[in-house]
Amino acid sequence: MLKPSCRLLRASTCRIPQQFSTLPRPGRRGLVVASTALHTSPQKPNDDCLRDVFDSQDFWRDFRNTHRSTTSPPKGLFQNRYLTKPEGFIDFARTTAKTCQRLVTRVVESSTVQEQRLIPKILDRLSDSLCRVLDMADFVRSTHPDVGFQESSSEAWSMLYEFMNVLNTTPELKIRLENALDDPNVGAAWTEEEKMVARILLKDFSRSAIDEDDEKRQAFVELSTRISQLGTQFIREMRPETFRIALSSRQLKGVDPLVLQNASRRHLAGISIPTTGPVAFTALRSMKDETARRDLYIAMKTSPKAQINLLHNFLRTRATVANLAGYRSYAEMNLTDKLAKTPTAVNSFLEALSRDNKGVVQQEMDEMLALKKLDADGNELSTRIEAWDRDYYQTRLADKNRSRSRRPDFMSAYFSLGTVMQGLSRLFTNLYGVRFVPIAPAPGETWNPD
């Protein structure tokens, strides 16, 4: 919800470079085990190797050591030569901005029929150049463990995001595109895909206050940039108002002592546990005491006032941008080119989904409530399933159903990460004639060897 997507030339998909890495994510071994290349070779894919690279730590370790180059110099993140150090993100963004500005100039200064026929391809390249940096920077700022890379990638993202909003409010680009589309000597030579790109891009321009005066267009750029900054700040500062909560040993009954061993602290009020992270969620699923579950749940869900004010500011700014572009709400503005089209359609879909699932949900709620009534046994428990009960009784219910099953569930074995990657490779081979081939990452290509 808080992440703005590449809006310029939305109809154009960012092209996949010849080689790209599966992006590292801390704590998720299978997602980061190999670089993946797209090949058009007609050879039969080595399915077993692809699956084992993702599913077997030992296989991956041997594969990486066998195929890794020990003599080549360190490369930048994702084999990008700029990203050998944090400051490289800024250089990469500036270089990209210069390249994009040259492309903009080509469109604005196009005068001959031949030059105007190239406008969709130039805008496609412009979109691709921006998306490559924006998407990469957005990922790195959210996941890289080094603060320097987080800050520099965030700065690069903000720089190009503002640049993109300026382009979306540049009348000359819209005028050139409209004239080319209306000119039979130009538009008639475009493919259907190019015509579709042009039409959707014109809709994007219209959503960016491009037909307003200079003052309003500048306000649109500034507010759009402000939205991105507030959204990033909101995500970065998300935290509960209380970092730890004190509970007695009796209240923590049911929680695995090994889970509490390293995360808990003893003091006069009892045992203190964190209100974020795996320990908190494990406690919520396993604590037998309802009062303790309630206190922990409320502590986990209560945000500081400053964070709530930040959210209100963010929502007000989005509403202002939407009104400036001629829409009643930000949701309406954001859905015009989506499948649903309108907020009303989205709400209707969600309400229909709720109605269709009501019976199944009610059955599960009744089963959980029956378990809760058994737990009461004369004790004071609420007579309904509360928000803080859901995880605890869903876990209990799942354990109960597993114990009654005569046959173990083997279905999950078919959906290991390696099997899914293997299936995707086969699907891409059948659809596009390409396949996934695992290769070991070069030195410096990822920030985690796993």
- Residue range 137-162: mean pLDDT, rounded: 92
* Residue 202 reports pLDDT greater than 70: yes
- Which residues, including other chains, have CB under 8 Å from residue 379's CB and lie 6 or more apart? none
Q: Tell me the pLDDT tens digit for each residue of 89-145.
A: 999 999 999 999 999 999 999 999 999 999 999 998 998 999 999 999 999 998 999
Q: Tell me the pLDDT tens digit for each residue of 9-42.
A: 333 333 333 333 333 333 333 333 333 444 444 4
> What DSSP character marks residue 446?
S
Mean pLDDT over the full length of the chain? 84
pLDDT of residue 69: 65
pLDDT of residue 381: 64
3-state secondary structure of 246: strand
Residue with the bigger pLDDT between 374 and 357: it is 357
pLDDT of residue 337: 81
Burial per residue of 16-36, b for 16 or more beta-carbon CB atoms within 10 angstroms, e otherwise: eeebebbebeeeeebbbbbbb
Q: Give the sheet arrangement for strand 435-439, strand by strand.
A: 19-21, 35-39, 435-439
- Residue range 223-249: mean pLDDT, rounded: 91
pLDDT of residue 409: 55
pTM value? 0.73
Which residues, listed in sequence order, are joined to residue 227 by a DSSP beta bridge? none
- Residue range 176-191: mean pLDDT, rounded: 92
